[in-house]
Amino acid sequence: MNKTIGIFGGGQLGRMMAQAALPLNIQCTFFEANTDCPSAALGQVFSTKAENGLNEFIESADVFSLEFENTPLADVDVLTQSKAIHPPRQALATAQNRLLEKALFDKLDIPVAPYRAVDSLESLKQAVADLGLPIVLKTATGGYDGKGQFVLRTADQIDQAWAELGPAKSLIAESFVTFSREVSIIAVRGLDGEVKTWPLAENHHHNGILSHSIVPAPNSADLQPVAQDYITRLLNHLNYVGVLTLELFVTDKGLYANEMAPRVHNSGHWSIEGSVCSQFENHVRAVAGLPLGSTEVVRPTVMINIIGKHPKTEDVLALNGAHLHLYNKTERAGRKLGHITLMPVNQSELVLLCRQLAKILPEPLALSEDMNI
């Protein structure tokens, strides 16, 4: 198939989509402010800063997708006058606004924590009265990796929370969910409506940023069908094409939805080596109108993000079964620079690899030796 997919964004997700597209003889182009972005080696980059950049980008490809849910809707609206984009505009608009997102979850009977819309100091005080404390106050739009959030634990923090986030004007207050762990499910839907899902990933965070994911999530046999049901409801309701991610909390009352991401996701990077067909290849297949591939797991897998500083490449590659993916990004505190995929044959090998990685990674991560696969 000779087809070109245009991708809004040129970061590591676009890079890995393009890497998956090349064996299928599918080319990618990118629309990105930084023309020296991680995806630049994989296809032509059209600058968002150029006067005619958007039109040139639209002319460069047959069908379009995205790697970042904050893709401007105005750009999408120009595009869809002449070309198709997957996922659909409704999914993008919903994911860009937490209030719309929660309303959609409610509509589809997907459990969420109680929440209130907040647009003034008075409405914040009312939300505290309605929901009780603690609550998580978030901007309705924007914010990721822990940004744009304030955990409000006591009433005397109300003024501080409003001072920090109030200028955003549109906020959401959510009851604090007591959960045992965080998981995510990733699924793909084709043009013909076929849906395939990968196993749940158990996700661990460090300073608000995903540090590592374990797949399949341990002790998740009873959670998997519930999560699959929830994400399938979303996919079908939105008439979605491509990969969708649903982040969930595991509570004593069952699974609660946190948020959805209308794109390939960090917690699915393991699938490049760990699944018969990766999230990236299946996304490309769906967008291009090709049959979907198997989401079967090759072997239990652990994916670890490289954050802030690069380890020595030779040290990582010396580890048994380690797969290194670097994104061609410069070092910066809190920045995702790459990831390492481990596919241990047993629990004892996993413990050994975690010990070795703890010595190799410049940024300390919460890699526990009692981690299970």
Annotated binding site for ATP: 98, 138, 143-149, 174-177, 182, 205, 258-259
Give the Cα separation of 169 and 369 in Å (integer). 44
Give, to the nearest 10 degrees, the angle between helix 12-21 and helix 279-288.
Answer: 70
DSSP state of 23: G
Q: Which of 19, 46, 21 is nearest to 326 (CA)?
A: 19
- The partner residues of 212 in beta bridges, in order of sequence, read 204, 304
Annotated binding site: 98, 138, 143-149, 174-177, 182, 205, 258-259
- The partner residues of 295 in beta bridges, in order of sequence, read none
Residue 255 and residue 226 in contact, taking contact as beta carbons nearer than 8 Å: yes
Q: Which residue has the tokens 């914040």?
A: 124
Strand bridging mode 63-66 / 84-85: parallel
Give the Cα separation of 331 and 133 in Å (integer). 38
Give the Cα separation of 65 and 42 in Å (integer). 16
Give the Cα separation of 217 and 227 in Å (integer). 12
Give, to the nearest 10 degrees, the angle between helix 158-165 and helix 121-131.
Answer: 130
Q: What DSSP string describes 90-159?
A: HHHHHHT-HHHHHHHHHHTT-----EEEE-SHHHHHHHHHHH-SSEEEEESS---TTTTEEEE-SGGGHH
Q: What DSSP string describes 41-83?
A: GGS-EEETTSTTHHHHHHHT-SEEEES-TT--HHHHHHHTTTS
Give the Cα separation of 355 and 372 in Å (integer). 14
Q: Which two tokens stand for residue 302?
A: 């652990």
Residue 293 and residue 285 in contact, taking contact as beta carbons nearer than 8 Å: yes
> Kind and range of the H or E element at 360?
helix 347-360
Strand bridging mode 254-261 / 171-175: unpaired
- Give phi and psi for 119, each to the nearest 5: -135, 10
